Structure 1
């Protein structure tokens, strides 16, 4: 067995521990989850049944199940600084709720600025809410003044699948789309800081019979323009990137979600989940910070049996990896 094969095979044995199963959703798949940072052990999840569920991992049953929407919920996030409030997206609509109102809670706010189905929402510490949708647009809502603030458009030529704010750059947001592009925005001005075209893959006919085997990442071109997003200590040409692909023991189908670890040494691990029904935990820092050619370690490989929709991590010593798959059950793993 080669050195690469040994590194890929070693973590598999560690993935056999059975997860805790959190039940609260009535039917359909669990679509999203978020772990509380203010109250370690508290997890919220959303599902295709239009319900929100709250779990305290110190107990067995759901603390609360709320019928929040009459359609599938695609995304959920806490309000920064006050996790009694949550935002959800359902269809092309955004709603907010106060958890303290329990099962009788009605939406506190409703926003209908997106024209197509929303894929992900995020809220900044300054009270701006971003919603990425199928049209490729991102709407920025001012939740304090309760109005549309900016429309971010024309960076993506296909579905915009994800959006996040940068905590240390309060006027910067990052979006990713199914056009294989990542864009960084100054959303106060509604313009891109830079964009990266991550993947260009030749058509099957061009590849011909040169490669037969499992799918693997093909990074043929990466084009960028503009300034590097960071602390100003490096420029775009010096930025280092890591590709975690099949040859390193990575996913054999589309990756649906990634997250940095909130447990242990915060951010030490990168966790990815995919359509190959696996969750992989990587020690990515070895490859990023090393001056040598140190390889990224695949620390853990978990077969979750079903396609992964979402995952998140919790800042606790156990029950710290939460996975949503195409079932109605939330699975919780412990990594120490």
Structure 2
């Protein structure tokens, strides 16, 4: 779709959302949808509370006063969603939802020196915590001890961390130093990295999207496609208003060989990846850029998530400081079909800056948005 076609095909809409009330004050900071219980969503807030919602009902199901600090991140325990982990300050706490509103922390981890920005849990029971120092701590929750410290890839705040589900010993991190790093966390070393702040990357971005806003390409959020999805990729929410989609298997392929290590911050793939504007480039495209020329964000992108509805991983959702949420049919950009381009299919004006979002399919497709208010908003699409 052309620039004008994208803008015309996905004009900004003011959909009226459902409002889920449960938090007492401050902003809602994070939300996560249950995969074991369709329609169940957990949110966290600056009020230190966890709220459980069922999208089939009106009222909050459960509220836990988890901490007297703002909660920065929340995630379910892999394989048992009766348990959740939350980060607050430099601590990680775990709770058992079956204990109700009186639930007290079951476990507490204090391995991070500075404030934690995001936590993630792997299928093998490892818990990752990215903090303001630039370090990532990997905790073995089975043995309840520190497993690894990932360091020296980031020179500034590490804002985001995710595990790669189809590679059980691999994690990916992003930081406010504009660097994306993929790790073999069993060995504590990087497999490859991308520096979005390097002159080469900046030149390629500017040539692909002339006129893009001038904010640095800080990485605010990283999302990884689910195992079994269309493509094995990650999406990167950038401070310059763009979303980058990276073919991880393509980038990781050199790490399998006995050639020179790619750790240490290579700016681009040695295979000469074309940083494009969402076009397939005759199936040679291994990295696509979703920016304002396609109807994208005009301010920093704060979060990204692959949708749980539709064909698995087909859609990518992004939220930004421009108070908008975008739904992208991004996978067309990786298609081998001629003239098949990534496409913006929905643009929602949500009125406030977006902190986090997730998707939860029930009888309809639901998009859950956390913004700078204390109310969780749900947009549904029949």
TM-score of the aligned structures, taking structure 2 as reference length = 0.79
Deviations 1:305-328 (A, max 9, x none): 000000001133425210000000
Contact 1:182 1:195 in 2 (8 A): yes
Shift, 1:334, TM fit: 1.1
Give the corresponding residue for 1:101: 99
- The aligned counterpart of 1:72 is 70
Match of 2:344, SS state, is strand
Which residue, out of 314, 321, 332, partners 2:367? 321
Q: Secondary structure at the match of 1:106?
A: coil
Partner residue in 2 for 1:8: 7
Q: TM-score, normalised by structure 1?
A: 0.89
Choose which of 309, 313, 334 in structure 2 pairs with 1:263: 309
**1:60-82 deviation per Cα after TM superposition (whole angstroms, max 9, x unaligned):** 00000110011000000000110
Tell me, what secondary structure is at the counterpart of 2:290?
Answer: coil
| Alpha-carbon spacing, 1:233–1:17, altered in 2? closer, same or farther (3 Å) | farther
2:170 pairs, out of 166, 169, 172, with: 172
The match for 2:138 is 140
In the alignment, what sits opposite 2:152?
154
- Structure 1 Cα separation of the partners of residues 175 and 303 of structure 2: 13
Matches within 5 A, 1:124-139: 124-139=122-137
> CA shift at 1:113, angstroms?
0.4
Paired residues for 1:1-336 under 5 Å = 3-12=2-11, 15-200=13-198, 215=213, 217=240, 228-229=251-252, 237=271, 240-336=286-382
The whole-number CA distance in structure 1 between the counterparts of 2:99 and 2:59 is: 19
Contact 2:2/2:294 (<8 A) preserved: no
Residue aligning to 2:260? none
2:50/2:64 contact within 8 Å kept = yes
TM-aligned CA deviation for residue 264 of structure 1: 1.5
For the structure 1 residues 170 and 11, does the alpha-carbon distance in structure 2 shift closer, same or farther, using more than 3 Å as the test? same
1:290 CA drift (Å) = 3.1
SS in 2 for 1:306: coil
1:3 Cα offset (Å): 4.8
Instruction: Summarize the Cα distance change of 1:42–1:231 in structure 2 as closer, same or farther, 3 Å threshold.
Output: farther
| Paired residues of 1:37 and 1:315 also in contact (CA < 8 A) | no
Q: Take 2:168 and 2:81, find their aligned partners in 1: how far apart are those partners?
A: 20
**SS at 1:170's partner residue?**
coil
- Partner of 1:286: helix, strand, or coil? helix
1:162-209 CA deviation, whole Å, 9 max, x = no partner?
00011111100000111111111111111111111123369xxxxxxx
Residue of structure 1 in register with 2:231 after alignment: none
Report the count of equivalent residues.
320
CA pair 176-3 structure 1, distance change in 2 beyond 3 A: closer
Q: Which runs of 5+ in 2 are unaligned?
A: 201-208, 215-239, 243-249, 258-268, 274-284
- Alignment partners' CA distance in 1, 2:251 and 2:144: 32
Residues 159, 293 of structure 1: CA spacing in aligned structure 2 closer, same or farther, 3 A cutoff? farther
2:355 aligned counterpart, secondary structure? strand
Shift in Å at residue 8 of structure 1?
A: 1.1
Tell me the secondary structure at the aligned position of residue 314 of structure 1: strand
CA RMSD of aligned residues (A): 2.5
Stretches of structure 1 lacking an aligned partner (at least 5 in a row):
203-210, 220-226
Q: Aligned in 2, Cα 1:195/1:62: closer, same or farther, shift over 3 Å?
A: same
